[in-house]
């Protein structure tokens, strides 16, 4: 009885295609909802720091003084909390996974200095995520 089961499985295995995907030759097909990695459209970002505060693994650093937004993709756990809480909706969850690499690199995005308005330069003190700005933005 059970021998017959194995024979059936054996024949099936001999004459069917592999179940596994032939990964490097055949690129991976992601599902529509796959949570792969985070991208930021830095032109829309207002550097409010909401994403950094809401991130459970502290993968994002926002530096208002330097006007930079930095993500450490190897710390990110793809939860989507930052995307959900971003007031400007400039973050997006992309389908492809973070590429493996020899070291845990960070990705730094720099927002260009504003052309016309000179006054934000007069705010020296806080470097990370001051709360009032987040409030005014939402």
Partner 1 sequence: MSTRSVVPFGPHHPVLPEPIHLDLVLEDEKVVDVIPSIGFIHRGLEKLVEKRDFRDFVYVAERMCGICSFMHGMSYCEAVEHIMGVELPPRAKYLRTIWCELSRLHSHLLWLGLLADAFGFESLFMQCWRLREKILDMFEASTGGRLIFSVNKIGGQRRDMDNAMLHGFVEKLGGLEEDLKGITSTFLANSAVNSRLKGVGYMTKKMAQEYGVAGPFMRASGIARDTRKLGYDAYGDLNFEPITSTEGDCYARTQVRVRELFQSIDLIRQAVAKIPEGPVAVPIRGFPKGEYMVRVEQPRGEAIYYVKANGTKFLDRFRVRTPTFANVPAMIELMKGCRLSEIPMLILTIDPCVSCIER
Cβ distance to partner 1 smaller for residue 57 or 136: 57
Binding mask 51-80 for partner 1 (x = CB under 8 A): ---x-x--------------------xxxx
Answer for which of 90, 93, 109, 133 binds partner 1 (CB under 8 A) is 93
In 3D space, the residue among 45, 98, 44 whose CA is nearest the CA of residue 76 turns out to be 98
Residue 98 near residue 74, CB atoms below 8 Å: yes
- Judged by CB under 8 A, the residue of 37, 65, 73, 81 near partner 1 is 81
Task: Give one DSSP letter per residue of 24-55, joined into a string.
Answer: TTSPPPPPTT---EEEE-TTT-----HHHHH-
User: Among the candidate windows 3-11, 37-45, 68-76, 123-131, which touches partner 1 by CB under 8 A?
Assistant: 3-11
Nearest distance, CB of residue 42 and partner 1, angstroms: 24
Listed residue (115, 110, 128) closest to 40, CA to CA: 110
Instruction: Assess 26 for contact with partner 1 (CB under 8 A).
Output: no
Nearer to partner 1, 33 or 99 (CB): 33
76 binds, among ligand SF4, partner 1, none (CB under 5 to 8 A by kind): ligand SF4
Alpha helices (H) in 2-137, listed in sequence order: 2-15, 50-54, 81-85, 131-137
Handedness of CA 86, 82, 135, 41 (dihedral sign): negative
Which residues contact ligand SF4 by CB under 6 A? 38, 40, 45-51, 54-57, 59-60, 62, 69, 71, 76-82, 86-88, 90-91
């Amino acid at each position: 009885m059970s021998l017959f089961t194995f024979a059936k499985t054996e024949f099936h295995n001999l004459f069917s295609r592999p179940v596994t995907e032939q990964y490097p030759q055949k690129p991976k097909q992601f599902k529509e909802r796959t949570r792969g990695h985070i991208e930021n459209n830095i032109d829309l970002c207002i550097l409010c720091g909401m994403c950094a505060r809401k991130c459970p693994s502290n993968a994002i650093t926002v530096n208002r003084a330097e006007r930079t937004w930095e993500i450490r993709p190897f710390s990110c756990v793809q939860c989507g909390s930052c995307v959900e809480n971003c007031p400007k909706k400039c973050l997006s969850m992309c389908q492809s996974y973070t590429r493996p690499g020899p070291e845990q690199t960070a990705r730094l995005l720099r927002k260009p200095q504003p052309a016309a308005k000179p006054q934000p330069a007069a705010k020296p003190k806080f470097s990370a995520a001051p709360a009032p700005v987040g409030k005014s933005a939402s």
